[in-house]
Structure 1
Amino acid sequence: MQEKELIVGIDQKPTSIGSWVILSLQHVFAMFGATILVPLLTGLDVGVALVASGIGTITYLLCTKRKVPVYLGSSFAYIGAIQLATANAGVDSAYLGLMAVGLIYILFASIIKIFGSGWLRKLLPPIVVGPMIMIIGLTLAPEAIKSAGLNGDSGYEVPVVALITFLSVVIISTKAKGMLKIVPFIVSIFIGYAAAMIFGIVDYSVFETVSFFQLPKFSFIGTYDFDFSQILMFAPLAFVTIAEHIGDHVVLGEITNKDFLTDPGLDKTLLGDGLATFISASIGGPANTTYGENTGVIAITRVGSVYVIGLAALFAISLGFFGYIQAFITSIPWAVIGGMTIILYGLIAANGVKILIKDRTDLSNMRNLVIVSTMLVIGLGGAVLPITSTIQLTGMSLAMLVGILLNQFIKLLDYLIKP
């Protein structure tokens, strides 16, 4: 599969301030819906989540020496743990649990820095990483379908708006020329929003409860009780999101034709991600994680500039303080988001297939076919493995574990049973 060069390279700036601003806003729109959904579901403050997202992204860029165009947003993996910890012992215990997750990332990064990541590569060869990335994208697919109103629960308005948005992305990304071609999502959002206004599915009530400038409800470390009772609920989840972290960086590497696990190194990317989560929790925000939506934007636009990502982070921080802008983006109907994410999430899954193709994985070989098929069924079939009453392995994390163990088991069989 032939690699396409980036239009704007990782260490390059856009040619004009205007294009720089538009490209950065596109990343803001891509991450916004999911980033604010986490605090909405967990009771945390939306403004704090946006500020933490921006600070976390800048922290990550500094830790990776501005070599990786990654945007960090609110992690979905910890929603259940935050809800349960808050119900059991109050939100203070959730903050401490999330800070513990950040420290586990930092510890893991230190171990890799000392001993290297070669052992990790042996555990996670392409035959395991490829299906894992496919599962990341396909696991998100139901959310895109639900948002687009294609699950049979919506009237005709939502699917029509989603279709208009979807077709706008398709037409602009494949047929447009010049600057328009590399901003398909931001243009499609406005087209979709206009369609949503015509069909009457825009919720304007969000503008009634905001002011032009509003201070996020920060909960700084030291201002609340140190309740460590819920940490064991959060700690195992760190290993799940570390696997997701690796998968996302492999996907981005495939898109940009770079090996980020080598340069700047997995130790630095994990350090940036861990510090971002620790900082976020220390001011009252959710865990941060690499965002597939923004990786999808890079895949479509071929713009991988860390300067674009950095400006998007600054915009996110400012959005935490400007109520009406925050309300406008919040008012974007899920139909519009759904129309875009059908493509964005599909791109993630397609990059998993691309990894297998690039590795020349022979799927006529029963060994490879067994590993891929088993991982896909477990990852997408809703498999659950309870560890304790509050901890369980599900979806991608369980599929990853099974893939690693199955790959090593077959290797052992190959060694013990010679053909």
Structure 2
Amino acid sequence: MKSKNQNIVLDIHEKPKAMNWISLSFQHLFAMFGATVLVPILTGLSPAVALISSGLGTLAFLLITKGQVPAYLGSSFAFITPIIAAQTLGGPEAAMLGSFLAGIVYAIVALIIKGAGYQWLMRLLPPVVVGPVIIVIGLGLAGVAVNMAMLKDTTDPQTYSLLHLSAGLVTLALVIIFSVFLKKGFLSLIPVLLGITGGYIYSLFVGLVDFTGVREAKWIQMPDFVTFYTGVNFSWDIVLLMVPVAVVTLSEHIGHQMVLSEVVKKDLIKRPGLHRSIMGDGVATIIASLIGGPPNTTYGENIGVLAITKVFSVFVIAGAAVFAIAFGFIGKVSAFIASIPTPVMGGVSILLFGIIASSGLRMMVDSKVDLGQNRNLIIVSVILVIGIGEAIIKVSENFELHGMALAAILGILLNVILPGRKEASGDLTDVEDHISK
């Protein structure tokens, strides 16, 4: 299973053996599962549909990027608040219409990049902007991960449970131990899956696992699909709620592609091209909107798995996507996965969300963003505080900019307005040169 590069276990186009393939794909499935189903749970959408849309979106992404970008796509946390707000305007159908329009924005940007190149977008979103936005995405999710690990009800701080926290910490400890101390053999490739398995067993012994859903679930069941074109009228309020968030997810996408390029030691922004990966992301979101799933985005959690395991095979990613689609229809299996206690997923998320934030910091370091420059210091500081502090600008009763979207927009504006942009924003060629080495 070793590639020519001894630091890589499986390269992008290498196929694993059958049993290893299944296990490695399951690891990616479990890595994305908690976040992918948490978004629909928080927004009132169907978790089963979210699994199916993430699988279909990932397969579409792999096809559009010519099988050269080993990225898994799942539910986007950036759209949680806009989805909830859109549903108050016209139910789930309104949220799906907004998601469809956000996907169209992606497609338009991809077409512009194909015709005009990607440098204009890189100048608009340089490392001094994208890096802090990625940090905000990771640290903005920190509260979600910690609440998952220590609360019986993730929406109620009064439900603190030391028992739940113990399950989260046991899971986190096991993932860390397996990642650090398993150096050889197949088990060294699946530390996240092993950690979740260990956390599940611990939770089973302490009484945190509920099999009621597994017993009641049917083997084969049809998910609750939703289509936006069956009962919602176009509204500019929906557009203003959903489309601005595309600025955040575009920043996130660029950041993920740069981090992923660093992980796999290939410049994915040049080949297969940023226009292909952005188009793939947009098509995935459009697919999700057509069946009732939340908007999709490339997942930092799965990039974290790639970084830990050094298994970059797109066949493994595709396998996870196929499993996700199948589990959306197999009631017993999806119910069993759903029986994984929330604190177990919280424990894993503490590490994986932290990796997202760390990757943003690493991007700024690799691109030589000089925080000794007041210009850079101001941009980074504003993005971090506005984003993590979840500041809100309410333009009307139904339209508001908040948190990540507001932070990204302010970061872009500051980067354009403040003098010295060319000299101080961080040079993407430094990252590209580092990747090529």
TM over 0.5: yes
Give the AA of the match of 1:192: G
Taking the TM superposition and a 5 Å limit, the aligned residue runs for 1:3-402 are 5-14=7-16, 16-149=17-150, 153-176=159-182, 177-219=184-226, 224-229=230-235, 231-232=238-239, 233-402=241-410
2:92–2:226 CA contact under 8 A, matched in 1? no
Moved more, 111-120 or 367-376: 367-376
| Cα distance in structure 2, aligned partners of 1:70 and 1:300 | 14
2:281–2:297 CA contact under 8 A, matched in 1? yes
1:133–1:251 CA contact under 8 A, matched in 2? no
Go from structure 1 to structure 2 and tell me whether the alpha carbon gap of 1:354 and 1:115 turns closer, same or farther (over 3 Å shift): same
Go from structure 1 to structure 2 and tell me whether the alpha carbon gap of 1:219 and 1:409 turns closer, same or farther (over 3 Å shift): closer
Q: What's the % identity of the aligned pairs?
A: 45
Give the AA of the match of 1:353: L
- CA offset digits 1:343-397 (Å, max 9, x no partner): 1111111112211222233333333323322322222122222333322222222
| Cα distance in structure 2, aligned partners of 1:355 and 1:244 | 12
1:109–1:271 CA contact under 8 A, matched in 2? yes
| Cα distance in structure 1, aligned partners of 2:246 and 2:380 | 24
2:93–2:227 CA contact under 8 A, matched in 1? no
CA RMSD of aligned residues (A): 2.2
Give the AA of the match of 2:345: I
Give the AA of the match of 1:374: V
- 1:289 alignment partner, SS class: strand
1:254–1:351 CA contact under 8 A, matched in 2? no
| Cα distance in structure 1, aligned partners of 2:169 and 2:330 | 31
Give the AA of the match of 2:9: I
| Cα distance in structure 1, aligned partners of 2:391 and 2:133 | 15
Per-residue deviation, 1:340: 0.9
- 1:73 alignment partner, SS class: strand
| Cα distance in structure 1, aligned partners of 2:127 and 2:316 | 30
Per-residue deviation, 1:94: 2.5
| Cα distance in structure 2, aligned partners of 1:80 and 1:126 | 26
Moved more, 144-153 or 130-139: 144-153
1:92–1:227 CA contact under 8 A, matched in 2? no
Go from structure 1 to structure 2 and tell me whether the alpha carbon gap of 1:97 and 1:407 turns closer, same or farther (over 3 Å shift): closer
- Structure 1 length as normaliser, TM-score? 0.92
Per-residue deviation, 1:207: 1.9
What runs of 5+ residues in structure 2 fail to find an aligned partner? 152-156, 424-437
- CA offset digits 1:260-312 (Å, max 9, x no partner): 22221121111111111111211222211111211111121121211110010
| Cα distance in structure 1, aligned partners of 2:417 and 2:234 | 38
| Cα distance in structure 1, aligned partners of 2:417 and 2:298 | 31
| Cα distance in structure 2, aligned partners of 1:8 and 1:243 | 28
Go from structure 1 to structure 2 and tell me whether the alpha carbon gap of 1:250 and 1:387 turns closer, same or farther (over 3 Å shift): farther
1:193–1:336 CA contact under 8 A, matched in 2? yes
Give the AA of the match of 1:216: P
- CA offset digits 1:127-182 (Å, max 9, x no partner): 22222222121111111111121878422211111111111111110111321111
Go from structure 1 to structure 2 and tell me whether the alpha carbon gap of 1:125 and 1:77 turns closer, same or farther (over 3 Å shift): closer
Give the AA of the match of 1:129: V
Q: How many residues align?
A: 411
User: Following superposition, which runs of at least 4 residues in structure 1 exceed 6 angstroms of deviation?
Assistant: none
| Cα distance in structure 2, aligned partners of 1:164 and 1:334 | 13
Go from structure 1 to structure 2 and tell me whether the alpha carbon gap of 1:412 and 1:66 turns closer, same or farther (over 3 Å shift): same
- Structure 2 length as normaliser, TM-score? 0.88
